Amino acid sequence: MPSRRIRIKISYDGTTFFGWQVQPDLPTVQSELERVVSGIEGAPVQVAGSGRTDAGVHALAQVAAFSIQNPIPCENLRRAMNRLLPHTIRVFDVEEADPAFHPRFDATGKHYQYRIWRDEICPPFDRPFLHHHPYPLDESAMEAAAPLFEGEHDFRAFAAADEKDGLGKSKIRNVFRSRLRREGAVLLFDVEGSGFLKHMVRNLMGTLVEVGKGNLSRADMATLMTPPYGKCGASVPAKGLFLISVHYGEARLRS
């Protein structure tokens, strides 16, 4: 029986997971998906994601893919996966993909959003999904500074140490859009780009917070993306970060 390449779109609450990637003896999103799909297939199945979200980070529309031989229709597969997965992970779309499709290598862009609650009192049911910062910030200065991240830059100052650093891979990334806005009590930072380094979005947000505190100027920000590269603001907590969407060209996707 020929193998089928399956593409799925999932949402998850990252609060109780140690990130996306499989880790020995720790709950992760990838390990839960592989447990469920392998059970349906009756054989080990590897599930590839569009990227690794860190511990505590959430996703509205993560994209993943795997290959199976089971002839189960896509709609039935979606139902079966949701029945077997923990309620903190939900599968919204399941579709056939080209056998060569890879959710990471075929991605052309990603959209992340960071959320900060600005009022004095944060509702307890929102608290797991927001960074509560009720202290004074110059939000106008932050809003004006956010677009400075746009374009192709070396973002090494915004990257956490990674096990792949020894490979000497480039830290240059292309940010398509970087905007900050206020909606009610929530300060929203939206950033879209070709790809992101480890903790990069949380460090971008942390740098904007330093701008809001008056500790960094626009000129200071420019030095963070040019040699000798300065020190970015402290990383903000993971719980306020969401992967909103992953973008693809249509060449390798079937309608």
* The two structure tokens encoding residue 1: 């029986």
Task: Report how far residue 253's alpha carbon sits from residue 8's, in angstroms, rounded to the nearest whole number.
Answer: 12
Report strand pairing: 241-248 vs 186-193: unpaired
Task: Report how far residue 198's alpha carbon sits from residue 187's, in angstroms, rounded to the nearest whole number.
Answer: 22
Q: Has 54 been annotated as catalytic?
A: yes
* The two structure tokens encoding residue 160: 């956490």
Q: Which of 25, 54, 93, 162 is catalytic?
A: 54
* The two structure tokens encoding residue 2: 């020929």
Q: Residue 78: enclosing H or E segment and its boundaries? A: helix 74-84
* The two structure tokens encoding residue 143: 């809003």
Q: How many CB atoms lie within 10 A of CB 44?
A: 8
Map residue 162 onto helix, strand or coil. coil
Cα Rg for the chain, rounded, in angstroms?
19
Query: What one-character-per-residue DSSP string does 200-239 give?
Result: HHHHHHHHHHHHHHTS--HHHHHHTTSTT---PPPPPPGG
Q: How many CB atoms lie within 10 A of CB 73?
A: 9
> How open is the CA angle 173-174-180, to the nearest 5 degrees?
110
Report strand pairing: 58-68 vs 241-248: parallel
Catalytically annotated residues = 54
